Structure 1
Amino acid sequence: MNRTPKIMEQLLDEEIDEQEFVDIIDDIYKQDCYIYAIIPDWEEDLLNQLSDDFVVIQKIKFPLIQIFPRTIGLLGYVKDRKKQYVYEFYLRSSTIDFFIFSELDISQHLNQISKKNLDLGELFKALKVPHITVGPDGQWLTIVEY
């Protein structure tokens, strides 16, 4: 059976504050929220903030030519039950290209991400897993349901 995704966009206020953003995510994901990301190693302050909560699956060299000097990305996830990190990722949506919110644990599939296939979104589509991405410049959320 081929399930077609239902895609919705939710516009965000230009000056949305942390509580408003957390409330939106909390409305969609009542319990757990997983944040799957490839965090560049130069995002040291974010990595320090996440400390032991960010589970690193693997390190990936970024092959992207627009990133200089070459950098390493840490592929992993955070189980953010209290939604304490969602706003921090939202704020970094212009500097971290690869992160997705979901209520489902797909961590066992993250090993499918590689230097040649960095797109987390494609993995979620292939697995038909509901998820949320942040649009360009943080202007909206794209909510994908199956």
Structure 2
Amino acid sequence: MEYVPYIREILLDEEIDEQEFVNTFNKFYKQGCYIYAIIPEYEQELLEELASDFNELNKFPLPRVFPREIGHLGYVKDNLNKYIFEFYLRSTTMDHLVFSETDATELLRNINKKNVHIYKLFELNRIPHITIGPDGQWLNVVEY
């Protein structure tokens, strides 16, 4: 039997502030979440901010980026939701960003420069997750 995901789009206010965003997020993840991302090298400020909390699993050249940029694949276990707004603000410059309560770190080890599809990893393994829509306009909440 094939599982069909239940997808909800949560529209975000154009001028959403950090507290309002965190409150919206807390409706889904009350105890924090994992933030899975491929952080481009040009987001050096974010990498420095996350220095002790970012668990890097791999790094490789990003496809479709010119000039070639290195992407840092990893995750943050954000128990206090202190980083989710920072990632939200950068979501328009980061192509690979997923939030989930599920620890999928072992599955992330399958991501490499030839297979950069984080979203497919969550879909194929039917892992509930949240992504941010284009231009940060909404949250895509995917449940199974």
Compute the TM-score of the two structures, normalised by the length of structure 2: 0.97
- Cα distance in 2 for residues equivalent to 1:32 and 1:16: 20
Aligned residues: 144
Question: Does structure 1 residue 26 correspond to structure 2 residue 30?
Answer: no
- Cα distance in 2 for residues equivalent to 1:24 and 1:12: 9
- Cα distance in 2 for residues equivalent to 1:6 and 1:24: 18
Gaps of 5+ in 1: none
5 Å matches for 1:115-134? Answer: 115-134=113-132
Question: Does structure 1 residue 53 correspond to structure 2 residue 50?
Answer: no
Residue 35 of structure 1: how far off its partner (Å): 0.2
Counterpart of 1:119, as a letter, is H
**Structure 2 partner of 1:35:** 35
Q: Secondary structure at the match of 1:128?
A: coil
**Structure 1 partner of 2:68:** 70
Gaps of 5+ in 2: none
Residue 32 of structure 1: how far off its partner (Å): 2.8
Same amino acid, percent of matched pairs: 56
Compute the TM-score of the two structures, normalised by the length of structure 1: 0.96
Residue 68 of structure 1: how far off its partner (Å): 2.0
Residue 99 of structure 1: how far off its partner (Å): 0.5
**Structure 1 partner of 2:6:** 6
**Structure 2 partner of 1:80:** 78
Q: Secondary structure at the match of 1:42?
A: helix
Q: Secondary structure at the match of 1:35?
A: strand
- Cα distance in 2 for residues equivalent to 1:63 and 1:97: 10
- Cα distance in 2 for residues equivalent to 1:111 and 1:37: 12
Superposed CA RMSD: 0.9
